[in-house]
Structure 1
Amino acid sequence: MTRTGIHAAITDLLFTRDITLQEAADRHFAPEYRQRTDGEWADRAEFLEHMAHLRDIVADGHVEVHEELYDGSRYADRHTAHVTKKDGSTVRMEVYVFGDFAPDGRFRRIEEVTLMLHGSDDDRNIGSARQGPRGGSDGE
């Protein structure tokens, strides 16, 4: 079994534009995937809405993994996401992750807490922002 990790997952989801969002999600996240970010749960569909929103506003970036632990089906890491938005502004978030894997090595669940290191007040919820109901967006 080959297990995914945060670096590969975020790189494919946000920064690798030659694969679709669905292809990236299927590569790294099980069908029953759930995520809790800063206390707010999202199912896989809501998570993909969030990623689609980020793909709309993010121009470039990278993930810097500081610490990463695999223990059987459990996973933990501390990483920093460095993002340049399409408007030229930058965001840097430190993220603390705990999760587990499905038997096939894809993420089944992630619970994370984010810490804004650099960015505007409007970017504080970038870790969970989704497109708003009227074409507006959260976190912009």
Structure 2
Amino acid sequence: MTRQLSKSEALTLLNAMYRDVVIGMDDTCIDRYFVPEYVQVTDGVRSDLAQFKHHIRMLRQEVQSIQISPFTHYVYDEPLQTATLRYTVDVAKKDRKRGQVELIAIFELDGDKIRRCYELSCPLDHQTEFKEIASLS
């Protein structure tokens, strides 16, 4: 049986993952945070670990920088090992376009790794070209 994380341990894990993988756009450290059987569903589109790694590589090609707001909501169900987050992503593309996307994400944890993620994204300011940022492939 895998060790269960406390609320603060889960938050530490998620913050580190966002720092390294999303903000850092570093696909080389993904295995540190995600189980091999990882599944992500973003806006109804399902992807596995290999597709998620490809997504991060594609972000690196198109995006200059990503900044994530402090989580506006963080709810943790310790018995179920699930974390629900709401936050805003500021994106600066290499073509100098900028936009914001609001995300709601539900993570299922497996010990000190992430097993599943369900995300809903909504571009702010009606900038539909930023809708694909969350599922770029």
Question: For the superposition of Structure 1 and Structure 2, which TM-score range results when normalised by the shorter chain?
Answer: 0.7 to 0.9
Quote how far apart the aligned CAs of 1:119 are: 6.5
Could you tell me which runs of 5 or more consecutive residues in structure 2 were left unpaired when the two chains were aligned: none
Matching residue's letter, 2:115: R
Quote how far apart the aligned CAs of 1:59 are: 1.0
**Which SS does the other structure have where 2:135 is aligned?**
coil
1:31 aligns with 2:36: yes
Deviations 1:73-113 (A, max 9, x none): 1111101111111111112110011121012x211100010
In 2, are the aligned partners of 1:34 and 1:44 still within 8 Å (CA)? yes
In 1, are the aligned partners of 2:101 and 2:130 still within 8 Å (CA)? no
TM-score normalised by L of structure 2: 0.81
**Which SS does the other structure have where 1:88 is aligned?**
coil
Find the aligned partners of 1:122 and 1:54 in 2 and give their Cα distance.
14
Residue equivalent to 2:121: 114
1:31-110 alignment, distance < 5 Å: 31-64=36-69, 65-72=71-78, 73-103=81-111, 105-110=112-117
TM-score normalised by L of structure 1: 0.80
Find the aligned partners of 1:98 and 1:15 in 2 and give their Cα distance.
18
Taking a change above 3 Å as real, the CA distance of residues 123 and 11 of structure 1, as seen in their structure-2 partners, is same
Could you tell me which runs of 5 or more consecutive residues in structure 1 were left unpaired when the two chains were aligned: 131-140
Quote how far apart the aligned CAs of 1:27 are: 2.4
